[in-house]
Structure 1
Amino acid sequence: MFETMYEAEGVGLAAQQVGYTGRETVWEGSVRPAVFINPEILWTEGEYIGEEGCLALPEDSENAECVTRRGIRCRVCALDGNGRVFEMDLDGIAAKALQHEIDHLNGVLILEHFNAIKRNLLRGQLRKLQREGKKQAPGMTYV
């Protein structure tokens, strides 16, 4: 998963984005990369409103970013790559990215943050690109 995330120049990746069904996400942390297995957000604080994109959307989709609302800070509890429980406090882009990846694990796609008109337009573009056999990033699958 890390290889796919790096190749796509992302900061996080959920298992479903590469065809795995497990509740696992990887993230490029400020100190070191991290694996989160069965992550749960314990709390969020503050509110960040801003543009957000997704590796699951094709690069050539028009208007593939949307405005989302995320906590500025959050605490997550998860298992690490060795099966040990840990908690981590995150803020800024790290909090935003992890909340985004956990959305994927919970079946919430960034499309659900778009307004109805933009969401329907983008779905049409995704279907067209899928018919043409295009992919948005190496190793990624359409959602």
Structure 2
Amino acid sequence: MAIYNIVEVGDPVLRQKANPVKNINSSIHKLLKNMADTMYDAKGVGLAAPQIGISKRVVVVDIGEGLLELINPRIIKASGQETDTEGCLSIPGTLGQVPRASKIQVQALNRNGEQVEYHVKGFMARAVQHELDHLDGILFIDKAESLRKQFEDVVLENKAKAKG
């Protein structure tokens, strides 16, 4: 199990278009495993390779329904729209109201190099779109209708320390 450092806003890799994966091999399998371990360790629901400083079109997502691994993903159909709160492991402490398609159809390669297609909606659609944006150098703050700092966690930590 390897946990990568998550790069934060300001790192140039987050603003670059990630490179397509040409060959799915043991190094890509290791990357997928380590990205999942990193995402779970950080208590995130998604992670794109650029967020760990690697310019490859690789994404992992798990909203609590099982791990989704996407290599060279692309959205082929989107419909509906909903606005909801998003945060990002690469932009700690910031939340924003972001409009996204409510349903998407995404094509990608799986870890075996097979083309897969998923029809997802709701929170899963939001998470996948957020991560795919990372592959094109787009951050949720670029699309947010409003932003706010996340103080709730700090308040809870301070209350816990005061009691301790």
Distance in 2 between residues matched to 1:89 and 1:105, nearest whole Å? 20
**Alignment match of 2:45 (pick from 6, 11, 26):** 11
Q: CA deviation at 1:32?
A: 2.5
- Is 1:42 equivalent to 2:54 in the alignment? no
> In 2, Cα distance between the equivalents of 1:29 and 1:109?
19
| 1:113 maps onto 2:143 in alignment | yes
Tell me which of 123, 126, 144 is aligned to 1:93. Answer: 123
Equivalent position SS for 1:65:
strand
The letter for the 1-side match of 2:95 is: E
Could you state the TM-score of these two structures normalised by the residue count of structure 2? 0.65
1:115–1:78 distance in 2 versus 1, CA, 3 Å: same
Residues in 1 aligned to 2:144 and 2:82: alpha-carbon distance in whole angstroms: 16
**Higher RCO structure (Cα 8 Å, ≥6 apart):** 1
Instruction: Trace 1:1-143 onto structure 2 (pairs within 5 A).
Output: 1-28=35-62, 31-59=65-93, 64-114=94-144
**Larger radius of gyration between Structure 1 and Structure 2:** 2
Aligned-residue CA RMSD (Å): 2.0
Instruction: Describe the superposition over 1:110-140 as per-residue Cα deviations: whole angstroms up to 9, x where unpaired.
Output: 2212469x69xx8xxxxxxxxxxxxxxxxxx
Alignment CA distance shift 1:9-1:45 (3 Å):
same
Runs of 4+ off more than 4 Å: none
Consecutive unaligned residues of structure 1, counting only runs of 5 or more, are 123-143
Distance 2:82 2:55 in 1: 29
Identity %, equivalent residues: 38
Which residue identity is paired with 1:75?
Q
Please list the CA deviations of residues 82-106 of structure 1 after superposition, one character each: whole Å capped at 9, or x if unmatched.
1110110001110000000000001
Q: Normalising by structure 1, report the TM-score.
A: 0.74
